Amino acid sequence: MYKIHHIDHPILKHALTVLRNKNTATEEFRRHTAIISQIMIMEATRNLSTMQVPVETPLAKTKGSQIGQAIVLVPVLRAGISMLFAAKDFLPWAPVGFIGLERDEETAVARQYYQKFPSDLTNKLVLILDPMLATGGSLLDTVEALQQKGAVELAVVCIVAAPEGIERLKNVHPDIHIYTADIDSNLNRSKFIVPGLGDFGDRYFGT
């Protein structure tokens, strides 16, 4: 199965264009981030196992489906929080883990300052939420931290990705699925994605 999933959907394309626009205000930026995040997470969970369960409608008894695989959501702080809000709207039962990574603006190397995961990650689909896959360094650190806690099945959900970050993650962890709304051109000298979205966290949180 191909591991890089470039999601193509007209609503997704429209919302992404709104995010790319430098004149988009914070409130609208947040709203379209939620739209994109929900579409992306729906795609990332497309192959979840289900089990048949009985259900009684107002008119008759019938058969329905229930998700049979546990999911854990792990946003990469702080920008990943933006995707978590959308995910919890339709996955309210999913436990949440957190990892805090701060990028050095000069070296582009991330420093971990916080980590808190659910105690048991085995036999669960762990969705790593991070809007921007740039160099891939932060996601490699996140994957390593999760694997040390027993995670086996992991997927990365991002909004835009740079080819450099995809390649780096793919080379180290070829088994991990990457879901993205768009694959951008390249990283600039400051390791920002081009054309990208600018500083996602600042635009989302209005800082």
The domain that holds 152 is classified in CATH as: 3.40.50.2020
Q: Is residue 54 part of a domain?
A: no
Q: Is residue 58 part of a domain?
A: no
Nearest residue to 158 via CA among 49, 40, 46: 40
pTM of the model: 0.90
Q: Is residue 165 part of a domain?
A: yes
Q: How many domains does the chain have?
A: 1
Q: Is residue 55 part of a domain?
A: no
Question: What is the domain range of residue 164?
Answer: 4-48+68-205
Q: Is residue 63 part of a domain?
A: no
Nearest residue to 78 via CA among 162, 22, 138: 138
Q: Is residue 142 part of a domain?
A: yes
Per-residue pLDDT of the chain (207 residues; tens, 9 = 90+): 459 999 999 999 999 999 999 999 999 999 999 999 999 999 999 988 889 999 999 999 999 999 988 999 999 988 899 999 889 988 999 999 999 877 666 665 667 888 899 888 988 999 999 999 999 988 999 999 999 999 999 999 999 999 999 999 999 999 999 999 999 999 999 889 999 999 999 999 988
Active site residue 103: yes
Query: Among residues 107, 111, 120, 122, which one is catalytic?
Result: 107
Q: What pLDDT score was predicted for residue 1?
A: 41
Q: What pLDDT score was predicted for residue 104?
A: 66
Active site residue 30: no
Q: Is residue 138 part of a domain?
A: yes
Query: Among residues 8, 89, 120, 202, which one is catalytic?
Result: 202
Q: Is residue 105 part of a domain?
A: yes
Active site residue 107: yes
Active site residue 141: no
Q: What pLDDT score was predicted for residue 101?
A: 76
Is residue 20 within 8 Å of residue 29, measured between CB atoms?
no
